[in-house]
């Protein structure tokens, strides 16, 4: 009886082992890398002088992210105390940072992203039938080729969508899904969510009406929409 149970358990474990072994493992590490010179100077000077590198299981850098030193926000004292959110406290198209792909990547729509440098700006998913059920959250970072993003100030969302199409090379913007991050830790961390989605989480300094604040960012670096 015991031998039969042990055999059954062993068979189950062995059947599962290939899937576990084949699961990609990723890591992050801070790096003292200044923002890329491909970025326009007005954008570049707003970014931190260090990056977060995203590495594959062999230690090769897939991409690295530079976050903004301080994100402009609108918030009351109560909102600052309770925590800021993307939609309530940040203006759409706000510059959040930049990303450099050291090898070809994929966005949340599984679109190819060529190796290169891109800005990251906040975008909101249109509330229409075409986008229902395509993502668990309606907030994204839209990528724009560095040479096309000359002014860090917010602008019309429609223009951001057009600019971002140059990153994807398609009729749709290049997008990286954002998750809520209501209790960000002091250190950046990498979270493995369901479906092979890997998310970079961090506490982002912000400023609202002259008051210091923070907002939690959670940027998808690996992961695609179930509708892709």
Mean pLDDT, the chain, as a whole number?
A: 88
What is the pLDDT at residue 195?
Answer: 80
- The per-residue DSSP string of 128-166 comes to SGGGTTS-SSSEEEEEEEGGG----S---HHHHHHHHHH
Structure tokens at 162: 């057009």
Task: Phi first, then psi: give them for residue 128, nearest 5 degrees.
Answer: -140, 170
Q: Is the dihedral of CA 197, 174, 202, 227 positive or negative?
A: negative
Mean pLDDT over residues 199-208, rounded?
Answer: 97
Domain ranges of the chain: 26-222
**pLDDT at position 20 over 80:** no
Q: Over the stretch 97-120, which tens digit does the pLDDT of each residue have?
A: 999 999 999 999 999 999 999 999
What is the pLDDT at residue 128?
Answer: 61
Q: Over the stretch 123-169, which tens digit does the pLDDT of each residue have?
A: 999 876 555 556 889 999 999 999 999 999 999 999 999 999 999 99
What is the pLDDT at residue 130?
Answer: 54
User: What is the model's pTM?
Assistant: 0.87
CB 122 within 8 A of CB 96: yes
């Amino acid at each position: 009886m015991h031998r039969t149970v042990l055999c059954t358990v062993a068979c189950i474990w062995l059947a599962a082992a290939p899937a576990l072994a084949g699961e990609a493992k990723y890591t992050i590490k801070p790096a003292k890398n200044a923002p890329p010179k491909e970025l326009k100077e007005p954008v570049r000077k707003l970014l931190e002088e260090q990056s977060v590198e995203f590495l594959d299981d062999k230690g090769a850098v897939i991409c690295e992210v530079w976050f903004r030193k301080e994100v402009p926000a609108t918030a009351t004292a109560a909102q600052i105390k309770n925590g800021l959110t993307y939609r309530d406290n940040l203006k759409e198209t706000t510059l959040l940072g930049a990303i450099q792909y050291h090898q070809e990547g994929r966005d949340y729509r599984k679109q190819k992203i060529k190796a290169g440098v891109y800005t990251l700006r906040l975008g909101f998913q249109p509330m229409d039938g075409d986008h229902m059920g395509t993502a668990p959250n309606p907030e994204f970072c839209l990528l724009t080729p560095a040479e096309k993003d000359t002014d860090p100030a917010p602008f019309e969302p429609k223009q951001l969508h057009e600019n971002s199409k140059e990153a994807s090379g398609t009729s749709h913007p290049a997008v990286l899904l954002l998750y809520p991050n209501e209790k960000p830790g002091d250190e950046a961390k990498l979270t493995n969510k369901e479906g092979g989605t890997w998310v970079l989480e961090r506490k982002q300094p912000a400023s609202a009406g002259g008051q210091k604040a923070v907002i939690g960012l959670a940027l998808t670096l690996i992961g695609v929409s179930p509708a892709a």
